[in-house]
Amino acid sequence: MRYLHTMLRVGDLDKSIGFYTELLGMTLLRKRDFPDGKFTLAFLGYGSEKENTVLELTHNWDTDSYELGDAYGHIAIGVEDVYATCEEIRSKGGKVVREPGPMMHGTTVLAFVEDPDGYKIELLSADF
């Protein structure tokens, strides 16, 4: 068995793809429209789907936004320098919702950013 992907429903696919590629450095691996079902799937990641877990963005053409619910937590991404990554994201118009610093009751440096749909992404120092 292997963990393949995590799926998020998004309201504006182009805006979301821009966030994950331009601000978080992912690559758009593939994108496909399903006209009969009125939805599009886009897969993004940091490498080939054969070797890496990726992110699937699902855009239902007739839905502009979603209620996130209270069960969702976050996606975690390891980065070399949490402080520098947050500054780069902020300089590109991204939203940092928890400033970089040590985690509560620990020493791991982390921060949280928010994507265009309000999903939280945790940035963890590479020595996580």
The b/e string for 69-95 (b: 16+ C-beta within 10 A; e otherwise) is eeeeeeeebebeebeebbeebeeeebe
The active-site residue out of 80, 88, 114, 122 is 122
- H/E run at residue 13: helix 13-18
Q: Is 22 designated active site?
A: no
Active site residues: 122
